[in-house]
Amino acid sequence: MSILNSVRSQLVPIHPQGYPFIGAFAVVSLILFWWWTPLGWIGALATVWCTFFFRDPARVTPVREGLIVAPADGRVSRVTDAVPPKDLELGDWPLPRVSIFMSVFDCHVNRSPAEGRIERIVYRAGKFINAELDKASEDNERNALVIATASGRIGLVQIAGLIARRIVCFVREGEAIGAGERIGLIRFGSRVDVYLPLGAKPLVAEGQTAIAGETLMADLKVNEGPPNYRVG
The one catalytic residue in 29, 99, 112, 190 is: 190
β-pair partners for 61: 230
Q: Is there a contact between 155 and 144 (Cβ–Cβ < 8 Å)?
A: yes
| 190 flagged as catalytic | yes
146: Cα separation from own chain's centroid: 15
Run of H or E residues at 15? none
Q: 19-52: buried (b, 16+ CB within 10 Å) or exposed (e) per residue? A: eebbeebbeebeebeeeeeeebeebbeebeebbe
Q: Name the residue among 46, 194, 195, 18 with its Cα closest to residue 109.
A: 18
Q: Which one-letter amino acid corresponds to residue 46?
A: A
Pair type for strands 67-69 and 216-219: antiparallel
Active site members: 190
